[in-house]
């Protein structure tokens, strides 16, 4: 007579041990470590939010050896940081299909040389969304699972051991998966350019509410004196109503317009200035380094 629980336990252990062969421990912050995933030969991704330093970063590889890491680049908008690590010699992991709510998922990380794992389920799968900094995340994947802080940046795998995405913490320590496709897109861009450059126009805005209370434009409350908006003739007090003919519904719309492909592009803004309609054109610049 078969023991279903034993078979389930053995299967879970097997996929965790396999996934652990590409999960590393990352010493990139002053209070405890985080985890990372080997995604290409010599390339590790980890959670950008958990990487507090740009130097003196060590990783512990799956074989227990310690290696020095250098930061290839960061993308705070998708919470992806890319490290170059000698000895992390694995090809890209197999991507999981987009999971359905209720699907089993396992979080795998490392604390030093030790593997840590937790099992849970997919709580929500939604459409693509943008982070508070404007990064495009290919799907909203929330996981009903309890993870140790050290698992941040580690792997979330499906029942077959395929990579659903990278584990990060959202509001109220809810666990989110940055999808495999988003992680790899950011990684490729960082390896090619050193960072993910976003557009910049140099305006500070606040939403303007319509009579019904819904956003209806964004009022300019601050300007970078060297920014594209100032040079294009935008003034403090102008209300931005449209961007290339599309309605502007507060700050969020402007953030969404300033993705990596916006740099160097011309944009036409429809404004309300002292009750009169004004149109200005400007060229989107790359966001200055912090």
Q: Please classify residue 64 by burial: count the beta carbons closer than 10 Å to its beta carbon, then call 0-12 exposed, 13-18 middle and 19+ buried.
A: exposed
Residue 289 has pLDDT above 80, yes or no: no
- CA 196 – CA 78 distance, rounded (Å): 10
- CA 207 – CA 230 distance, rounded (Å): 19
The pLDDT of 137-157, averaged and rounded, is: 96
Residue closest to 69 by CA, chosen among 49, 43, 101 = 43
Which one-letter DSSP state was computed for residue 211? T
Q: Which tokens sit at 247?
A: 């309605």
pLDDT tens digits for 42-83?
Answer: 999 999 998 988 888 999 999 999 999 999 999 988 999 999
- Cα separation values, 223 from 28, 143, 235, 236, Å: 35, 40, 8, 7
Residue 1 has pLDDT above 60, yes or no: no
pLDDT band at 290 (very low <50, low <70, confident <90, very high): low
Phi-psi region at 273: left, alpha or beta (left = phi > 0; alpha = psi -120 to 50):
beta
CATH number of 1-196: 2.40.10.120
Q: Lowest mean pLDDT: which of 7-21, 171-185, 240-254?
A: 240-254
CATH number of 199-286: 2.30.42.10
- CA 177 – CA 141 distance, rounded (Å): 5
Domain ranges within the chain, ordered by starting residue: 1-196, 199-286
The pair phi, psi for residue 230, each rounded to 5°, is -60, -45
- Cα separation values, 63 from 35, 68, 181, Å: 15, 15, 27
């Amino acid at each position: 007579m078969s023991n279903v629980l034993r078979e389930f336990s053995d299967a879970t252990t097997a996929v965790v041990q396999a996934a652990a062969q590409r999960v590393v421990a990352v010493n990139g912050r002053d209070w405890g470590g985080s985890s990372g995933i080997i995604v290409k030969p010599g390339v590790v991704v980890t959670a950008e939010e958990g990487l507090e330093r740009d130097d003196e970063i060590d990783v512990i590889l799956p074989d227990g050896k310690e290696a020095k890491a250098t930061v290839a680049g960061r993308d705070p908008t998708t919470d992806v940081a890319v490290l170059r690590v000698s000895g992390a010699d694995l090809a890209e992991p197999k991507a999981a299909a987009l999971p359905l709510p209720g699907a089993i998922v396992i979080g795998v990380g490392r604390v030093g040389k030790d593997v840590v794992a937790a099992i849970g389920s997919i709580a929500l799968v939604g459409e693509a969304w943008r982070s508070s900094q404007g990064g495009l995340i290919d799907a909203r994947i929330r996981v009903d699972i309890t993870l140790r802080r050290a698992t941040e940046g580690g792997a979330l795998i499906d029942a077959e051991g395929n990579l659903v995405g990278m584990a990060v913490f959202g509001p109220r320590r809810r666990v989110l998966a940055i999808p495999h496709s988003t992680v790899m897109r950011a990684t490729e861009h960082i390896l090619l350019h050193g960072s993910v450059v976003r557009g910049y126009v140099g305006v500070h805005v606040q939403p303007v509410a319509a009579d019904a209370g819904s956003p209806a434009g964004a009022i300019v409350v601050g300007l970078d004196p060297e920014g594209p908006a100032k040079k294009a003739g935008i003034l403090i007090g102008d209300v931005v109503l449209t961007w290339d003919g599309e309605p502007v519904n507060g700050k969020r719309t402007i953030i969404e317009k300033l993705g990596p492909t916006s740099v160097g592009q011309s944009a036409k803004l429809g404004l309300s200035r002292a009750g009169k309609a004004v149109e200005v054109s400007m060229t989107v610049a790359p966001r200055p380094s912090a």
